[in-house]
Amino acid sequence: MFWVYITAIYSVVIITAHRLPPPFDIRIDYYKVETTKDLVINTPRPRLSWKLPISNERNVQQTGYQIQIQSDTDKWDSGRIDSSQSIHVPYINKNDLKPSTHYQIRLRIWTTLSNQASSWTDWIRFRTSIYNLHEYIMQHNNEVYWIGSTQIYMNELRKEFNVPNDSPIRTAIAFISGIGYYELYVNGQSVDASRKLDPGWTTYEKRTLFVSYDLKPTIKAGMNAIGVKLGNGWYSQEQYVPPSVSEPNYGPPRLLFVLQIVFENTNDMVIYSDQTWKGRLGSILHDSVYNGEIVDNRYDRPNWAQVGFNDTLSLWLTPEILPSPVNITANGQMTLQDMPPIRAGPDALHFEINNPLELENSYLLKEDLSDIIGAQLHDGGILKPISVSTPVLGVHTFDMGQNMVGWCRFHFHGPRGLGIYIRHAEALAQPVVSTHQAYGGIYVENLRGATQSDSYILRGDPNGEIYEPR
């Protein structure tokens, strides 16, 4: 008898659906989240936009999306929403986003490629502003003021305050409007050194802008110091060259400042601009958008924005309470400055590359930068002169090679009291035109009377002095 053994071999094929990568190029109210390091929005109902993941398939369409938003106290989940919309997708929760609050948001999508959802995006952090700063001021009418001086050019103001150490800081958010221009310092350090010429120029009585900063990394338990430098900007100077007869007379520079500190376990704390601050005329004796500035660095106080600063050589005064530049009775308003700031320095040269397919054709990755004369993109965007000449004894002309929007930095060595005069122009003058030689061979006839010059007096630092005209 023969026994026949039959062995059945089964091949088991497991088919798995690969999860789609998350959507990219996420934008909240037009802000590109990948390139905005401190995202602040000024609406309780933001709109969200994104792009579908790159695919080699054709005619890929979105079939649905899901959005989740959370704060320390609230959570919202849209659930799956069947829709192909990926631009200006509205926030549809019944509850508005709270003002002056930190949030996180993430999303995922479904497409025609699979019934499975894509991967979630990373959590995206953003925060909301005070939606109506003027209304906030009116609610604290006896606490927060515009401050400055009609007696002196008060362009440096400071305040020290104590933060209790019995509870950790949850959030510390500042709102500031210093007009014409301002620079904000906390405990001796610039809050964002690459930002320049804030806030933006507006018709101030109709709309004055403010800026918000997250100061939690900077504020500490114990004593802290806030320092603000002010400049005339477009607020307290001629608006045109030559001046227009009808130019508005806004008055001296002024500051509005609010710092909200929220603790984990104790009552909140708020620091306002009021008459507990002190102010003085700093080392910038005069400044003008068209005519430059006069700086006497002998009057500089390097530690003026630090805790414990005591200046026995300068006159620090109590600031005056000044009127708001905004004409509220004519429907004027204070709004968050929501356009990208002017930046100078390594952070300024950022070129967006949204996806790997763009890398192959990106001219930034190539060595040929001949269209950017004098440019060294690989050292932080510093442009160096292509030539230095001496057309007149004691005068040095630095040729940057092209007309540009730039930010100058000078490194000086010299004795105390030495004066240096700097003049800026858009082009070189022809050497044969003798009238231009007084300006060091630069062409100035197109400036319509604007001097575009800076005067700097050295304090005599043996290590040298760095000067950046504003």
What pLDDT score was predicted for residue 80? 97
Domain positions in the chain: 24-128, 135-338, 346-467
What is the pTM assigned to this prediction?
Answer: 0.85
Residue 242 has a pLDDT of 61
Closest among 256, 239, 257 to 326, alpha carbons compared:
256
CATH 3.20.20.70 fits domain 135-338: no
One fold for 24-128 and 346-467? no
Who has greater pLDDT, 250 or 152? Answer: 152
- The pLDDT of residue 138 is 79
Q: 244-277: per-residue pLDDT in tens?
A: 555 566 789 999 999 999 999 888 999 999 999 9
Rounded CA Rg of the chain: 29
Q: CA 354 → CA 53, 93, 203, distances in Å?
A: 11, 30, 36
Q: Where are the beta strands (DSSP E) in 193-232?
A: 195-196, 207-214, 222-231
461: how many CB neighbours lie within 10 A of its CB?
15
Q: What is the pLDDT of residue 411?
A: 93
pLDDT tens by residue, 328-353: 888 889 999 988 888 887 656 544 44
CATH value of 346-467 in 2.160.10.10, 3.40.50.720, 3.40.50.300, 2.60.120.260 = 2.60.120.260
Residue 460 has pLDDT above 80, yes or no: yes
Which range, 338-352, 415-429, 437-451, is most confident?
415-429
**Concatenated DSSP letters of 415-438:** -TT-EEEEE--SEEPPTT-GGGGG
Tell me which CATH homologous superfamily contains domain 24-128.
Answer: Immunoglobulins (2.60.40.10)
Amino acid code (one letter) for 239: Q
Burial call 409-439: b when 16+ CB within 10 Å, e when fewer:
eeeeebeeeeeeebbbbeebbeeeeeebeeb
Q: Which residue, 80, 85, 87, 78, is CA-closest to 61?
A: 85
Q: Do residues 171 and 72 make contact, with C-beta atoms less than 8 angstroms apart?
A: no
Is 76's pLDDT higher than 50?
yes
Highest mean pLDDT pick, 135-139, 349-353, 398-402, 427-431: 398-402
pLDDT attached to residue 17: 54
User: How do 124-128 and 40-41 pair as beta strands?
Assistant: parallel
